[in-house]
Chain A
Amino acid sequence: MPTVSPVPEDVAAAAAAMVGLQLAPADVPAIARHLGLLLRHAEALGKSDDEPAPVFRA
């Protein structure tokens, strides 16, 4: 499996509660791991501070 650091399970559960999701206990490890994969993508993306911001036009 890909090397990935899962998000701590209590953090994933707390984040889920913030958006109104009630995670089944059996799902929490897999979701924490998948969120870890997404954060790896965020790390690979790196900083975008110098890149153009999304534009809204009236």
Chain B
Amino acid sequence: MTGTGSAHAIAGAVRRGQMTANAVAEATLARIRAADGQLNCFEAVLEDRALADAEAVDRTVADGVDPGPLAGVPFAVKSLFHVAGVPTTAGSLIERDRPAPRADETAVGRIREAGAVLVGTTTMDEYAHGFTTENSHYGTTRNPCDPRRIAGGSSGGSAVAVASGLVPLALGSDTNGSIRVPSSLCGVFGLKPTFGRVSRAGSVLFVTSLDHVGPMAANVADLTTAYDVLQGHDPADPVSLDVTPQPCEPMLATGIDGLRIAIADGHFLRVADADGTAALELVADALGVQRRVTVAESARACAAAHLITAAEGGQRHATALRQRAQDFDPKVRVGLSAGALLPAVHYLAAQRFRRWYRAEVRRVLRDVDVLLTATTPCAAPAVGQATITVDGQEELVGMGLGLLTQPWSLVGLPALSVPVQRPGQLPIGVQLVAAPHSEAALLRTAWALEDAGVLTVETATATAP
């Protein structure tokens, strides 16, 4: 990676006193200043705060105290996380007008307590409603692999900040795929943990029953350390699970020993195009996986996720739609308004199906530890492109890009997108899925693939389109 290196390299050097957190922060801020004019991945760059935090880390080291496993590591967060003293915009004008929060979101606080240095907030689709990070208020975020292409969304700014080597670590949120989709399109690692495993307290939620918080990084070790820091019960989040943290980092080196891995067929093979299928086959071959399993009714799972998203999202923003409709991004206003009009009978039918699908997925996962699918139906579409072709049908980009990630969000399973780089072509992700609380199986599999040289992150800096 360009710049100062991986999170592990930075933290190691800072903890040993071989590098100061201040120097890392200064270099990071200089990179952001040089590149973000073209990428538009940062919404706010927090220079003063970053330098103050870095100096605090350096003082801790000077006092002979270990600042933590992410000592001096610069990181960025999607602009829907509360950051003390910084307006939480969630990519909107409406939220920008609210008073700035007094405290950090729980996840932001946990990363900082591990010694990391927050350098800024990143761009997103307004209220996390979308998969493109084309935002009428804050502009379009460009894919560093090809600036004529979208970054994906809704955590597009976080994915680009990592993919372009501006920061080694970023936080995103994932409702229907908003960590995994931009990770796939930009070529980085993105983890959506088990529902309730990482606190959402202090973030602007989109769909209460589907929202997850998770990390994005340029290698498996960094991703794992971030997840280990993030996981754990938080009484401030009503859906937070009161389970004992299970550190994954010590388990990485066991690789895929003992893991039962299979390709999810049916819907998941039909939806992926030739690029997605080739990436999936590359990963499956590297793992020696030929077995295929079927998770029944997964197309219906996408339909259910669309309906639940529309209804809960529409209800959540109904008051603002009544009071400040013209201040929404026009396409988000249309989507949320339509959701607010959806008859309850369809929402409840989707919830009934959700319970059935949860049981079906758990039945399959009694016999499989890790499922493989492509992460997105295709590589990054062009900026401004309205539709993609999926299984012979035209779909809106904002709906089609999530067809491989939505089913797993619907039932709260952990899912990890790993980047497959193809010379001369755009990257595309492969998705690893496991049973609840089995993040370690995903990270071990990704580590084995990375160790075998199958997965790499090639950071890129965009040039003007």
Residues of A within 8 A of B (CB): 1-3, 12, 15-16, 19-24, 27, 30-31, 34-35, 37-39, 41-42, 44-49, 51-55
Q: Specify the chain A residue showing the minimal Cβ separation from B307.
A: A41
**Chain A residues, Cβ within 8 Å of B322:** 20-22
Knowing A2-B394, A51-B355, A52-B355, the reply to whether A45 touches B350 (Cβ < 8 A) is: yes
Chain B count of residues within 8 A CB distance of the other chain: 39
**Chain A residues, Cβ within 8 Å of B300:** 44-46
Query: Is there contact, CB below 8 Å, between A35 and B395?
Result: no
Minimum Cβ distance to chain B for residue A20 (Å): 6
Q: Specify the chain A residue showing the minimal Cβ separation from B353.
A: A48
Q: Which of B326, B346, B349 is the one whose CB lies under 8 Å from A24? A: B326
**B378-427 CB contacts (< 8 Å) to partner A:** 386-387, 393-396, 399
Query: Is there contact, CB below 8 Å, between A38 and B338?
Result: yes
Query: Is there contact, CB below 8 Å, between B337 and A31?
Result: yes
Q: Which of A19, A22, A42 is the one whose CB lies under 8 Å from B341? A: A19
**B345-380 CB contacts (< 8 Å) to partner A:** 346, 348-353, 355-356
Q: Which of B307, B335, B386, B399 is the one whose CB lies under 8 Å from A45? A: B307
Query: Is there contact, CB below 8 Å, between B341 and A24?
Result: no
Query: Is there contact, CB below 8 Å, between B349 and A47?
Result: yes
Query: Is there contact, CB below 8 Å, between B341 and A15?
Result: yes
Task: Give the CA-CA distance A58 to B404 in the complex, in Å.
Answer: 35
Residues of B within 8 A of A (CB): 299-300, 302-304, 306-307, 310, 318, 321-322, 325-326, 330, 333-335, 337-342, 346, 348-353, 355-356, 386-387, 393-396, 399
Minimum Cβ distance to chain A for residue B300 (Å): 5
Task: Give the CA-CA distance A27 to B340 in the complex, in Å.
Answer: 14
Q: Which of A20, A34, A35 is the one whose CB lies under 8 Å from B318? A: A20
**Chain B residues, Cβ within 8 Å of A38:** 306-307, 310, 338-339, 342, 346
Q: Specify the chain A residue showing the minimal Cβ separation from B326.
A: A24
Task: Give the CA-CA distance A16 to B399 in the complex, in Å.
Answer: 23
Minimum Cβ distance to chain B for residue A12 (Å): 7
Give 9 A-B contacts (CB < 8 Å), ordered by A residue. A2-B395, A16-B337, A19-B340, A34-B337, A38-B346, A45-B304, A51-B356, A52-B355, A54-B348
Task: Give the CA-CA distance A1 to B389 in the complex, in Å.
Answer: 10
Task: Give the CA-CA distance A44 to B304 in the complex, in Å.
Answer: 9
**Chain B residues, Cβ within 8 Å of A27:** 330, 333-334, 337
Q: Specify the chain A residue showing the minimal Cβ separation from B356.
A: A51
Query: Is there contact, CB below 8 Å, between B386 and A31?
Result: no
